[in-house]
Amino acid sequence: MRVEGGRRTVSLALFAVGLGLLVVGGFVQFNDTSGFGSDRWIYPLGLLAVVPAVAAVVVAWPEPRARLSLGIVLGVLTVAMIWQDIANDGFRFVWNQNEGELQQLELVLFVLAFVLLTTAGARLGGGRWLVRAAAYLVGTVVVTLVVTVIGMVYYGETACADDAEECLAPLAGIFWGAAAVVACLVAVLVIELILWTRRRRKAAEVTGG
């Protein structure tokens, strides 16, 4: 219990340090109505913040309850960020001045929180389906992002002229990504149906034997 509590405390402290470095470095801002805000960032602190954030996950991972606690914190943080994104026009996460960086961070935190919570739940007796759920989510996100980028590049090279003022490549990428999500959901349903059929067959064999 002492080791378990120690891992939980250390992992949460490391994550708090990483988050604090992002705030101090100007990467998280609550009053940036300009949409940029990079004039206030301190880039080395942003790079340094990655170290304790990754270390927090590494420290928590071996202990399910520590993993669970970190997952809950990440989940709450994700919800808070989404709420601020909707309610506060000045809320920004500035990393490289690209559009959608805040949404990308929210996605990363959500996926990480989901993986931590589900894998911890599986270790604590929740069942192997929780591990599969984590694998399905990660696989769907990766496939969707890859397909979206491929769609954008393909459309940009085949349907957009070099001197075109407007190009719908991002929109095409979104459509490709949406199709990838649907395909992944169908694949998940097929896999789960196959696994369910196998379990039913094994249960029937045991009962019949």
118: nearest Cα among 106, 128, 130, 109: 130
* Domain count for the chain: 2
Domain end residue (candidates: 86, 106, 126):
126
Question: How many CB atoms sit inside 10 A of residue 33's CB?
Answer: 11
Q: Whole domain around residue 101: which residue ranges?
A: 1-126
Q: What is the model's pLDDT at position 143?
A: 96
Query: Do 100 and 146 have their domain in common?
Result: no
What are the tokens at 192?
A: 């789960």
Query: Do 110 and 149 have their domain in common?
Result: no
Q: What is the model's pLDDT at position 208?
A: 62
Query: Do 70 and 103 have their domain in common?
Result: yes
Classify 76 as helix, strand or coil. helix
Query: Do 144 and 107 have their domain in common?
Result: no
Query: Does the structure show a pLDDT above 90 at 63?
Result: yes
DSSP annotation string for 11-60: HHHHHHHHHHHHHHTTSEESS-TTS--GGG--HHHHHHHHHHHHHHHHHH
Query: Do 171 and 78 have their domain in common?
Result: no
Query: Do 104 and 15 have their domain in common?
Result: yes
Domain end residue (candidates: 96, 126, 156):
126
pLDDT band at 27 (very low <50, low <70, confident <90, very high): confident
Query: Does the structure show a pLDDT above 90 at 1?
Result: no
pLDDT band at 144 (very low <50, low <70, confident <90, very high): very high
For range 150-169, the mean pLDDT = 77
Query: Does the structure show a pLDDT above 60 at 3?
Result: no
Higher pLDDT, 8 or 167: 8
For range 100-113, the mean pLDDT = 89
Query: Do 10 and 99 have their domain in common?
Result: yes
Domain end residue (candidates: 84, 99, 126):
126
The model carries a pTM of: 0.85
Distance CA(104)–CA(102), nearest Å, equals: 5
Q: What is the model's pLDDT at position 96?
A: 64
Query: Do 135 and 100 have their domain in common?
Result: no
Cβ atoms of residues 167 and 160 within 8 Å: yes
Query: Do 55 and 67 have their domain in common?
Result: yes
Query: Do 184 and 114 have their domain in common?
Result: no
Q: What is the model's pLDDT at position 45?
A: 82
Query: Do 79 and 100 have their domain in common?
Result: yes
Query: Do 61 and 135 have their domain in common?
Result: no
